Structure 1
Amino acid sequence: MSLLKISDVSMNYHSIKGETQALNNVNFKVNEGEFISILGPSGCGKSTLLNIMNGLLEPSSGYVLYKGEDIKSNLDKIGYMFQKDHLFEWNTVWENVILGLKIKKQLNDESKDRVNELLDAYGLLRFKNHYPSELSGGMRQRVALIRTLALKPEILFLDEPFSALDYQSRLLVCDDVYKIIKTEKKTAIMVTHDIAEAISISQKVIVLTKRPSNVKAEIPIDFENHNLTPFEKRRSPEFSGYFNRLWKELNDGNE
């Protein structure tokens, strides 16, 4: 059984000017341990789809199942990583990371030990008493991800998590996030507008059509060397083939 099943999901928005259909019968599945990226033309509803998948939005029709149950009954299994890190500038790294645990009343010796282990594993332990303004953009994103992982989610949703960073930082943080998610054995679904990013970090790319969106293609990404980092994949001979295919899928019929 798939970890996540998106079945006949449609979404209509209503305004004074009338009805706008954003999504039209979207269907696909996500298996446990997969890293999937969602690509599509600008304004096609990628973030809307992500928010339906994680239970923040109710679709006009269709449903999302998590292990065969309604996603809204499993919100505690979900972690979310936003475009911005949303760290509180007046809190230290430690205080930011344990915030979710405090809110959910899960802060105890065991969870504190886990947070310390995560900070240590991903190079942030010596910065635990620093403030966000003292960190680089990449380090801030690592803190945001560790804050999410502290709650032990089974599936992560990432909404263009690198878009607020400069190009060099994006490359470095993409490697960092990929390593963390792979090491922690998490299932992840990412929305991005960056073809190269999707290829370098994903095992499968879902390509959406222009609005009203549905699934145009599902493209497996499988490099011969499975140990390459996202940055190394960009320099692999296989990379250009995937890029050209995705570029064609995105632009054929989407002009």
Structure 2
Amino acid sequence: MALLEIKNIYMNFHTPESVIEALNNINIDIEKGDFVSVIGPSGCGKSTLLNIISGLLKPSSGEILFNGTSSDSNQDMVGYMFQKDNLFEWLTLWDNVTLGLKIKKLLTKENIEKVDLLLSQYGLSKFKKSYPSQLSGGMRQRAALIRTLALEPEILLLDEPFSALDYQTRLKVCDEIFQIIKKENKTAIMVTHDISEAISTSSKIVILSKRPSVVKRELFLDFNENLTPLQRRDEPQFREYFNITWKELDLNDE
């Protein structure tokens, strides 16, 4: 049984004039430890799919199953990391990364020690009293991920988490976030427009068609598991995977 089953998902949006079909019978299985990237033309419903998985949106039909049971009773299994880090500028780094624990009344001694360890492991211990404006873009993204990890989700949803960064920082932070997710043994689903980013991080790429979206292809990637995202880009099969993905995208029809 897969950790996450996306089963027969349809999503329609109703306007006064018409019905917009966004997702059309989406079926995807996600195994524990997978890093899956969802890629497709702009407006095809990639972020909509993440919102359905997270429970923020209810699909028109279909279901999301965690370990074979309905997602309605398993929302704590999911952590969401958005395009922006969404750190509160008036709170210190420590107050930002523990905010979720405070809201859920889970700020126990054990959880405080766990957050302290995460900050130490990922180079942020010295900045606990700093404010977001005093942190680099990469540090802010690490802080946002630690805030999510503090709640111990099994599955991380990443909605273009590096898109706000400049190219060089994006490559570095992508490497860092990938290593953290791998070390913490989390399952991840990432939406991205960047084919190279998807190939450099993923165990599987799900390619969606133009709207109404169907799954055009699931591309399984075979890299040495010890390679970092940057190192993957130098592997001979990287170009092959890039060409396959590019040909499957309906970019000419956007």
For Structure 1 versus Structure 2, the TM-score category normalised by the shorter chain is: over 0.9
In structure 2, distance between residues paired with 1:219 and 1:176: 24
Alignment identity in percent?
62
- Equivalent in the alignment of 1:89: 89
Shift, 1:252, TM fit: 8.1
- Equivalent in the alignment of 2:158: 158
Shift, 1:253, TM fit: 8.1
- Equivalent in the alignment of 2:147: 147
Cα deviation, 1:35-66, whole Å, max 9, x if unaligned, reads 00000011100000111111111000111111
Answering whether residue 4 of structure 2 is matched by residue 4 of structure 1, we say: yes
> Counterparts of 1:59-138 in structure 2 under 5 Å?
59-138=59-138
In structure 1, distance between residues paired with 2:241 and 2:61: 33
Asked if 2 retains the 8 angstrom alpha-carbon contact of 1:14 and 1:20, the reply is yes
The one-letter code of the counterpart of 1:60 is S
Shift, 1:96, TM fit: 0.4
Shift, 1:222, TM fit: 1.1
- Equivalent in the alignment of 1:179: 179
The one-letter code of the counterpart of 2:84 is K
The one-letter code of the counterpart of 1:89 is E
In structure 1, distance between residues paired with 2:225 and 2:33: 15
Asked if 1 retains the 8 angstrom alpha-carbon contact of 2:36 and 2:189, the reply is yes
Cα deviation, 1:64-113, whole Å, max 9, x if unaligned, reads 11111111210111101000000011111101010000000000110000
- Equivalent in the alignment of 2:246: 247
In structure 2, distance between residues paired with 1:151 and 1:175: 22
Q: Which range moved further: 116-125 or 230-239?
A: 230-239
Shift, 1:226, TM fit: 2.1
In structure 1, distance between residues paired with 2:193 and 2:200: 13
Asked if 2 retains the 8 angstrom alpha-carbon contact of 1:36 and 1:203, the reply is yes
Asked if 1 retains the 8 angstrom alpha-carbon contact of 2:41 and 2:251, the reply is no
> Counterparts of 1:20-31 in structure 2 under 5 Å?
20-31=20-31
Shift, 1:156, TM fit: 0.5
Asked if 2 retains the 8 angstrom alpha-carbon contact of 1:79 and 1:156, the reply is yes
Q: Secondary structure of the residue that 2:41 maps to in structure 1? A: coil
Cα deviation, 1:165-193, whole Å, max 9, x if unaligned, reads 11111101100110000000000000001
Q: Secondary structure of the residue that 2:249 maps to in structure 1? A: helix
Answering whether residue 248 of structure 2 is matched by residue 228 of structure 1, we say: no
The one-letter code of the counterpart of 1:75 is Q
- Equivalent in the alignment of 2:51: 51
The one-letter code of the counterpart of 1:67 is N
Cα deviation, 1:107-146, whole Å, max 9, x if unaligned, reads 0110000000000000111111111101100100000000
Asked if 2 retains the 8 angstrom alpha-carbon contact of 1:209 and 1:254, the reply is no
The one-letter code of the counterpart of 1:63 is E
- Structure 1: 4+ residue segments shifted above 4 A: 252-255
What is the RMSD of the two structures over their aligned residues, measured on CA atoms? 1.1
Q: Structure 1 unaligned runs (5+)?
A: none
- Equivalent in the alignment of 2:14: 14
Shift, 1:251, TM fit: 3.7
In structure 2, distance between residues paired with 1:235 and 1:128: 36
In structure 2, distance between residues paired with 1:254 and 1:154: 36
Question: Could you state the TM-score of these two structures normalised by the residue count of structure 1?
Answer: 0.97
- Equivalent in the alignment of 2:203: 203
Q: Secondary structure of the residue that 1:9 maps to in structure 2? A: strand
Cα deviation, 1:2-52, whole Å, max 9, x if unaligned, reads 001111100000011110100000111000110000000111000001111
Q: Secondary structure of the residue that 1:8 maps to in structure 2? A: strand
